[in-house]
Each structure stands twice: as C-alpha cells, then as structure tokens.
C-alpha cells in the first residue's frame, strides 16, 4: 500500500504487513506511522489521499479525500468487496458512472472519475459542504413549503437534464440522496448509481435496511416494469410529501405492506397531515404520485411549469392583500373618508383623484347662485353707506370662495373654506379692486367738484378784468 508522509507530503510505499508501524520516510527521513488500514487517513488510493470517513451506504463507504493531481477535495466512494468480486456488476457500474461523469449541471453532484487501484474499485465525486435533506428533517421533521418547492424544482431540473442528455434515471430519489449546500442549493447525489444501491424489498430482520427505499419507490419499479424519468418523478413527489408533512405517503408494518399500498391504496392529501399546505400543492403531489405513469406529468418540462405557476401564485398571495376592497382612511378636505382603494397607493394625489367622483356634485354648485347674487348686489350699492361696505366685504369673501372652488373643479368646498382666497383668479383681483373703489369714490367726487369750482372762479376773474 501507499500513504502520504505527514511531514513532507511525499508518497511512501510499504508492505501491507507494516500497517500501523512506524517507519522512516524516504523523502524527509522523518519517522512516521503507517496507516492502520488501506482506507485510514493518509492512505492513498490511486490519485486520492483519504482524510476521513463521511458515511456508509448499501454499496460502499464514502470518504473525504484530496485529489493530488488537481489539488481539490473530493468524495471518494469505495465499493464493498462483495460487489468488487462480481465482474458483471463492475462492468455495469463503470459504464453508468462514466455516463454520470459526462453530466455537468449545477444541481447534480459531479462525478469526476471511476477506476481501480489493485483490487479496490472507486468513484470520485464532487465534495459538497452541507447536509442531506434527511439530516435536516431529522432535526426539524418538516421544512418550510417555499424551501421544499425550491428543492423539488432543483431536482426536477437535474432529472430532466440527466434524462435528456444520457437517458439516465436515478431509481432511488429520497431525502438521503439530496444534498443541501451551505448556500441552500439542492444537489442530487448518486445519479446513475442507485440502480446498484437499492435496498431489497424482501422481508428481513434488518428493518432499517429495507424501510429506506420502499417509502418512496414507484409502482412500476415494484412490479419490474420498464422505467423512465416519470418513475423518478413519482419518488420525488413522495419526497415532497414527506418534507412538508413529516409523514410518509404510505406506511406499514413492513416493506411488503408499504409496497402494496403504493400499488393499490389512494394517496391521503398532504393537507390532511399539514392543513397549511395549499390545495394546489396537494393536487401537484397527487399527479406526481399517480399509480400509472401515463397519469403523471408527461415530462419534466410540464412539471416545472406547474411548479413555477404554484410558486408564483404563492409569492403573489404574500405581496397582495387578501381583499382589494379593504377600506382605508383617506384625507379629503380635513375629513376622514372611507374609500375602497389599493393599499399599495402611497401618493396622496392618486387617492384624492380616486375620491373626487364623490365630490363632483358638491354643495358648492347650489350655493354659487346665492354668492353671485350677493356679488351683484354689492356692485349696485357702490354709492355710500357703511352697511353697504360691510355687505360688500362679506359678499367678496363668498364670491372669492365660490370662484376659487369653481376654478379648481375637483377640490371640495370644505378645502376652499379652510384656506379662503388660496387661488384667486382675475375675477378675484377685480373684486379686490372694487372693494378699494368703494372707499375712495367720495374723494374723487369732491376733487372733481373742487376743480370745476376753481375753473369757474378763474373764468369770472378773467371776465371782470
């Protein structure tokens, strides 16, 4: 076996009999301890230095490793010995692993390389920082609906890409095989490999082994019918059901009972377990999990369209008030007026414009006649009395208010009275001049008489001379 020196990072080759012993590094001459097994930290498999174990599956053990040639972290899956001894299995495994490696998609965990190092077969994959969806649900039991729909959308895009590019199907969609990155992006793991990693549906003493896949398996896979991407969509629907309700779509005492329900029993609506699930999402899941493939979405594009429509509707319902006719208070001429309007309207001018219809026939139109009559009475009484002056001043105010209201048209009478004379037009200025004319008319008459009198005296004087 080979391992990497912890001091100089050089590769050291030793006999398997020296595992766990201390030896001298041939590069830096430092004493180092040999890894205790072929897959212990610092052990080297082909181009990869093992760092630590990440997890164990039905097909093998996954380690975090470092790829020396490209200086990058990877997830390294090592096949178990019973699979490595089966030549037919190895041929199929390598073929599908290479097909998966040709896929490059943001929602698929990238497969880097597949190969053999002595009697060890391995698959190197993209290392993703994050948690599986199952690990998240182990803590929270359910996830928010919006998050679940986004994860489902990511998975539909990944499955559609794999099917259109390589005709690959996953065969084992479940929360365990969906990785959620630290950025919240969902990535599909083990694409093209689950065919070899499926748990058996036969009853065994190990319930944990057989209760994983049966919760999400599609009917055609149970009875051995040919599968296409619609089988994966069924399993994805079961996964969505589980993530938003915390319950499996079908439950039973053993795998065989669960399988029978997948084939025969109607699906209980998701909102039975979680009343907050909208009916549109329930219908979506029911279509994804239809018993016969022909009753499901015919393609991933069709499913994506439905998903996007549902997400758009849910987003819109959050932004839009429940009732567009919800009364709001509008300031109109210093009064509170209840008016149906859109709460999104923040401009006061827009609100008033919508409210002017209620005031288009205001009392100002009927009082205009009286104000006009008063104004004309003022003009006829320009002669002399103090009472007429006072009356003229009062009528001027009324006339100004009426004219101001007429000029603005849509403003209310209350607004005009609140700020009298705010918009005086030319007629208002004429009224102002008329007011001052009433005060100076006696002086003008007196002056005119005086001038005539002076001219008469001068004429008499000239005649006498």
- Two structure tokens written together for 393: 């001043």
- What is the C-alpha separation between 12 and 43, in angstroms, rounded? 10
- What is the C-alpha separation between 189 and 128, in angstroms, rounded? 10
Q: 213, 259 in Cβ contact below 8 A?
A: no
Report the helix count and the strand count for the chain, using DSSP H and E.
17, 15
Count Cβ atoms within 10 A of the Cβ of residue 387 and give its class: 0-12 exposed, 13-18 middle, 19 or more buried.
exposed
* Nearest residue to 45 via CA among 54, 56, 35, 55: 35
Residues 6+ apart with CB under 8 A from 342: 324
- Supply the residues annotated as catalytic: 172
Q: 153, 308 in Cβ contact below 8 A?
A: yes
Q: 229, 159 in Cβ contact below 8 A?
A: yes
Query: Would you say how long the chain is, in residues?
Result: 465
Q: 51, 66 in Cβ contact below 8 A?
A: yes
Instruction: Name the phi and psi angles at 241, rounded to 5.
Output: -55, -50
- What is the C-alpha separation between 412 and 280, in angstroms, rounded? 48
- What is the C-alpha separation between 322 and 319, in angstroms, rounded? 9
Strand partners, 310: none
- H-helix or E-strand spanning residue 33: strand 31-33
3-state helix, strand, coil in the chain (%, to 5): 50, 15, 35
Helix (H, G, I), strand (E, B) or coil at 268: coil
Helix (H, G, I), strand (E, B) or coil at 384: coil
- Rg of the chain in Å (alpha carbons): 45
Helix (H, G, I), strand (E, B) or coil at 11: strand
- Two structure tokens written together for 182: 């630290």
């Amino acid at each position: 076996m080979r391992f990497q020196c912890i001091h100089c990072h050089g590769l050291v080759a030793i006999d398997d009999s020296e595992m766990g012993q201390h030896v001298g590094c041939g590069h830096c001459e430092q004493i180092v301890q040999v890894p205790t097994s072929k897959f212990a930290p610092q052990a080297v498999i082909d181009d990869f230095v093992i760092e630590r174990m990440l997890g164990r599956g039905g097909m093998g053990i996954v380690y975090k490793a470092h790829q020396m040639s490209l200086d990058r972290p990877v997830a390294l899956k090592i096949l178990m010995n019973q699979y490595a001894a089966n030549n037919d299995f190895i041929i199929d495994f390598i073929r599908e692993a290479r097909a998966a490696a040709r896929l490059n998609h943001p929602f698929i965990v990238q497969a880097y390389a597949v190969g053999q190092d002595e009697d060890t077969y391995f698959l190197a994959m993209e290392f993703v920082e994050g948690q599986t969806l199952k690990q998240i649900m182990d803590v929270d039991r359910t996830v928010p609906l919006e998050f679940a729909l986004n994860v489902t959308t990511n998975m539909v895009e990944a499955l559609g890409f794999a099917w259109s590019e390589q005709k690959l199907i996953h065969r084992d969609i479940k929360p365990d095989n969906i990785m959620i990155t630290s950025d919240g992006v969902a990535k599909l793991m083990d694409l093209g490999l689950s065919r070899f990693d499926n748990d058996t549906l036969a009853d065994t003493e190990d319930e944990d082994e057989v209760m994983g896949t049966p919760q999400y398996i599609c009917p055609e896979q149970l009875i051995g019918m040919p599968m296409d991407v619609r089988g994966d969509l069924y399993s994805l629907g079961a996964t969505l059901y589980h993530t938003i309700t915390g319950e499996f779509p079908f439950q039973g005492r053993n795998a065989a009972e669960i399988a029978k329900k997948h084939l025969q029993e109607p699906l209980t609506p998701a909102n039975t377990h979680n009343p907050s699930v909208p009916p549109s999402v329930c219908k979506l899941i029911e279509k994804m999990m239809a018993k016969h493939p022909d009753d499901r979405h015919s393609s991933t594009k069709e499913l994506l369209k439905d998903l996007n429509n549902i997400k758009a509707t849910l987003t819109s319902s959050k932004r839009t008030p429940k009732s567009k006719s919800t009364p709001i208070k509008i300031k109109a001429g210093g009064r509170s007026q209840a008016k149906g309007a859109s709460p999104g309207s923040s401009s006061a001018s827009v609100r008033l414009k919508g409210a002017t219809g209620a005031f288009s026939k205001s009392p100002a139109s009927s009082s205009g006649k009286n104000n006009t009559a008063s104004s004309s009475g003022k003009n006829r009484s320009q002669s002399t009395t103090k009472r007429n002056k006072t009356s003229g001043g009062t009528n001027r105010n009324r006339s100004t208010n009426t004219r101001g209201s007429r000029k603005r048209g849509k403003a209310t009478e209350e607004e005009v009275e609140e700020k009298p004379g705010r918009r005086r037009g030319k007629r208002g200025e004429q009224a102002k001049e008329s007011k001052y004319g009433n005060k100076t008319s006696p002086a003008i008459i007196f002056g005119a008489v005086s001038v005539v009198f002076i001219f008469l005296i001068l004429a008499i004087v000239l005649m006498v001379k």
